[in-house]
Amino acid sequence: MTITLASGMFSPALGNADAGLRPGYARWNRCHREVRAVSILFCCVGTCVFLRSGPEGYKEQQALSSVQDEDREYTDRRVLVADDDAAVLEMIQEVIRRSLKCATDSARDGEETLRCLSDRAYDILLMDMMMPGPHGLEHVKRVRTGWPEVDIVIMTSYVDDFPYVLAIEAGASDIISKPHAPSELVAKLMRVLRERDLRAAREVAERKYRGLFQLSMIGMVLVEPESSHIIEANRMFCEMIGRPEDTLVGCSLLDLVNERERARLEMGLTAFSVSGKGVLGDLVLTRPDGVELSLDVSVSFVALADGAVVLLAFQDFTGRREIEQQLALVAQTDQLTGLANKYTFHTRLEGAIARAASEKTPLTLLALDLDNFKRCNDIYGHAKGDEVLVMTGDIIRKNTRAGADEGFRCGGDEFMVLLPGSPASVGERIAERMREDFEKADNYGVSLSVGIAEYVSGMRAHELAQTADEALYRAKAAGKNGIQVAL
């Protein structure tokens, strides 16, 4: 003999409650009245259990006991149980409270279910499919639309009327048939609660990632590895590049760089896809306003469940590069005249000779010296002497080709001028124009002497400089304020 006690298996007589309900519900009510007439309902320690003769009953009690012994207690969770049978409601709530330690509330019909959902937040709605008022799959859809955060587990004695697939499509998380063992109910609810825990943990992780990604002081973008299209860009990158995120998402990262950098970036991404990570230094990105940024880029290929993405972290070193360039310029430049200094002269002279030798083009060097400069300092003071030096720099720049020729202050009142591609005859004309400009200027009694030397094949840098100096000495020895060309 079997004595059965099952949550949701029986329903008390509803009297006229059958009126107005669909035939299936009336059929369900009559069926349960008949079953109730031949069944005995037991409540054991306030818990709904199956009591069967023989080993089957023992196995069911052991199954429920094993579920209850789980370490996780869901005291922070709340379940709404909706069923029009008060006895069933009480028994199901008792099972949930004892086995899962969840808080529970109850509703007796569809309208009360909706009111409860409106008044309080729930994790799970355990709902009978045949109740007065709103019920069935349309009710499931309504709940899913209004409270998408709630997991819906439906109970029904008519599985054929509510197929599993249709229930899931309507928005249910699971379905349980009546009658059912308490252990089955608890297991299904436990699975849903575990899934909620996983979703909550994922949401926390995503919020942390979102915060780290968006609030990072390093510019970051996520890129699709095949097309290099930008999936997402953080605030710092948008500020760095001078564009809002909605104009970046969907466009190719490669479109933000020039052609030379595009090829370099493509090669870098291809190479890093093998190792999974890498760094590109001094990548130049161009802002919409034309400003070029010098960036160091860290590249990481991140494997995800549905594919892979590329995370690029950009650090803007434009300011630092500019400072470095300025420091380098200071190290190479005479601060008074703005011409390159003596140390730079030797480097540039070596390079100019190497090019002239390989290209077989002329190269001329002018050595300039200010006559009577010491006397100017003694009579007029060093401030006037500095004015004369600045004027000399201006005259050199005025009479040479920007980007081709170059002037140098090599110390005191000594200057050098490199004329790549020009023979000595051109150098002589340039020197004469400089001398004439100097005479016309407010020179405080200072004049200009110039020595000219043209590069000869096989000549070394120091030999060319010495040759120009020797020509300069002859110009000064000849009475100053003159020009001499090396023989």
Which residues fall within 8 angstroms of residue 323, CB to CB, at 6 or more apart?
none
Dihedrals phi, psi of 310, to nearest 5 degrees: -110, 125
Q: Is 413 a catalytic residue?
A: yes
420-425, Cβ contacts within 8 angstroms, sequence gap of 24 or more: 420/352, 420/355, 420/356, 420/361, 420/363, 421/361, 421/362, 421/363, 422/362, 422/363, 422/364, 423/362, 423/364, 423/454, 424/362, 424/364, 424/452, 424/453, 424/454, 424/485, 424/486
CA–CA separation, 79 and 242 (whole Å)? 50
Q: Among residues 256, 289, 317, which one ends one of the domains? A: 317
Does residue 205 belong to any structural domain of this protein? no
Q: Which domain-ending residue is among 317, 352, 378? A: 317
Both 30 and 167 in one domain: the answer is yes
Whether residue 304 is found in the same domain as residue 340: no
- Taking only the tens of pLDDT, the chain with its 487 residues reads 333 333 333 333 333 333 334 444 444 444 444 333 333 233 333 333 333 334 444 445 455 555 554 556 889 999 999 999 999 999 999 999 999 999 999 999 999 999 999 999 999 999 999 999 999 999 999 999 999 999 999 999 887 888 889 999 999 999 998 888 899 999 999 999 999 999 988 888 888 877 888 888 889 999 999 899 999 999 999 998 899 999 999 999 998 888 888 888 988 888 888 888 999 888 888 888 888 888 889 999 988 777 789 999 998 887 666 676 666 666 788 889 999 998 899 989 999 999 999 999 999 999 999 999 999 999 999 999 999 999 999 999 999 999 899 999 998 999 999 999 999 999 999 999 999 999 999 999 999 999 999 999 999 999 999 999 999 999 999 999 999 999 7
Q: Which of 164, 198, 232 is the last residue of a domain?
A: 198
What are the distances in angstroms from CA 170 to CA 24, 47, 121, 163, 229? 19, 31, 21, 11, 36
Domain presence at residue 454: yes
**What pLDDT does residue 319 have?**
67
* Peptide bond preceding 179 in cis form (omega within 30 of 0): yes
Question: Is 276 a member of any domain?
Answer: yes
Answer yes or no: do 174 and 26 share one domain: yes
Q: Which three-class secondary structure state does DSSP give residue 432?
A: helix
CA distance 255 to 260: 12
Do residues 142 and 80 both lie within one domain? yes
Output the domain CATH number for residue 246. 3.30.450.20
pTM of the model: 0.46
Sign of the Cα pseudo-torsion (143, 149, 150, 151, in order): positive
Do 348 and 441 lie in a common domain? yes
Question: What's the gap between Cα 40 and its chain centre?
Answer: 65
For residues 158 and 192, state if they share a domain: yes
Q: Are residues 148 and 254 in the same domain?
A: no
Q: Do 436 and 395 form a contact (C-beta atoms < 8 A)? A: no
**Do 247 and 337 belong together in one domain?**
no
CATH number of 421's domain = 3.30.70.270
Residue 80 resides in a domain: yes
Asked if residue 243 and residue 194 are part of one domain, the reply reads no
For residue 294, the model assigns a pLDDT of: 85
Helix (H) or strand (E) holding 167: helix 164-170
Query: What sign does the dihedral 52-55-57-58 (CA atoms) show?
Result: positive
Range of the domain at 240: 216-317
pLDDT for residue 303: 84
Residue 207 lies in a domain: no
CATH of the domain at 33: 3.40.50.2300
Q: Looking at the structure, tell me whether residues 184 and 236 fall in a common domain.
A: no
Q: Name the active-site residue from 174, 369, 405, 413.
A: 413
In a domain, 123, yes or no: yes
Quote the number of domains for the chain: 3
Domain co-membership, 156 together with 303 = no
Q: How many other CB atoms sit within 10 Å of the CB of residue 134?
A: 15
Residue 210 lies in a domain: no
164 and 303: one domain? no
pLDDT number for residue 328: 67
In a domain, 203, yes or no: no
> Are 271 and 248 a contacting pair, CB within 8 Å?
no
Q: Which stretch of DSSP H or E encloses residue 408?
A: strand 406-411
